[in-house]
Structure 1
């Protein structure tokens, strides 16, 4: 999970280098094609044998891939990698808090909201469209966790991410056709986008599915705490986007809130699993 997170954020930074030439939508299109080209031959899903119970979450996951990547990359283009990924990280945090009505979890939600405020520091010059796109990516990331968990139980091997990536790639075929007709794909841009496809799609899609077969969603959400930190470091090292002090503080608050929320959930699960005292 840690390796997947590091690769994901390094790939996002590489993809951002292609934004001036092909834009976020072009990078996302290439990323989906690369992921499908690698995962389909490896997993070899027999799509004709899929049942409806396997198809509907696969189609939804493909839509989530398409929407999550485009909204995140557009947010990265507008507000920077560290801020965009921290906003997206609210998705795993929501999964960790989902269904709980305890005072501790309510406090975590309030603190997370305060962390987002510190992170963004809303003002007349704030890019609210970029912030909104980051939050849309957060909704998609929460759906990604839950759908991957479901598909991991319904499809063997890597068939789920392979089939879902093929669905997402098919959605971007019209985009690629228009860009090719306009001569929009340069060699350098393709190279950066291919790197993003391998590091941000192939590696994490496969690794996350394998991990979600072995760990509960709450623990998976805890380990996702490294994403905002890796994103800020990748943005600084690869893109020269050095976060300001309030961005680092906001990242620390949101990440710390996630750690506390998942720890509380784990403590509740341990109490629920403990045998009842003898009477």
Structure 2
């Protein structure tokens, strides 16, 4: 799980190194192509057998794939890795809290909202477009969770995710070609983009698959909340992006709110399922 989180955020930081040459669109295109190859190899979808009811959520998931990565990378380019990933993390947190009626979840939501206010507080240097892009990525991540659940119900194994990755990769063929034509790539930039695809797609996918065979899903869900911390630390070490004390406090508050919400919900379900 540590390897998965670190690989994902290192991949994002390596991608940012290629932004000055390829731009976010070019880097995302390469990442989407790598993800498509990896997931198609793992999922081996039988596309000809898909029904209309199966294609609909797959196409929705493909659109989410395409939009989520582009808005996140564009946000990273404008506001930095740590802040962008923390704001994107609000997507899964919102999905987890939206279906709950527990008072502790409402309290966690309010605490997380306070953290967001601190992170996005108006300042002369505030990049509102970057914040908006990160929040769009958060909405996409929430939609990804909901659509992935539907795809998993309608298609076996990894076929749905693989098909969505393939469609998303196809969508980026014209965009990626135009970006690479306008921004003449260097060998170093292409290697960074390819490394980002491997580190942010292939490695986390395999690591998460192995981790979930060994640890409870509850613990895995709680551990996911360290990703914004990893992002802030790696942004500081690799990209020299330093956050202020207030931003670090806000990230800690948001991460803690998620961990408390997920952990207490799992404990409640376990107690409910105990034999009487």
The verdict on a shared fold, with TM-score over 0.5 as the criterion, is: yes
Q: Per the alignment, in what secondary structure is the counterpart of residue 130 of structure 1?
A: helix
The match for 2:122 is 122
1:1-279 alignment runs, 5 A limit: 1-182=1-182, 184-205=184-205, 207-208=207-208, 220-276=220-276
| Coordinate RMSD, CA, aligned | 2.4
Query: What is the CA-CA distance between 1:116 and the residue it aligns to?
Result: 1.1
Secondary structure at 2:166's aligned position in 1?
helix
Question: 2:61·2:164 contact (CA, 8 Å) conserved in 1?
Answer: yes
- The count of residues paired between Structure 1 and Structure 2 equals 276
Q: CA deviation at 1:126?
A: 1.0
Distance 1:67 1:217, change over 3 A: farther
Please give the per-residue CA displacement for 1:11-44, whole angstroms capped at 9, x wherever unaligned: 0000000110111111101100111123323432
Say whether the 8 Å CA contact 2:74–2:130 is kept in structure 1.
yes
Q: Shift in Å at residue 175 of structure 1? A: 1.1
The answer to whether the Cα contact below 8 Å between 1:7 and 1:203 also exists between their aligned partners in 2 is yes
Gaps of 5+ in 1: none
Alpha-carbon distance, 1:207 to partner: 5.0
CA distance 1:2–1:152, change in 2 (3 Å): farther
Q: CA deviation at 1:213?
A: 9.3
Change (3 A) 1:90 1:140: same
Moved more, 85-94 or 53-62: 53-62
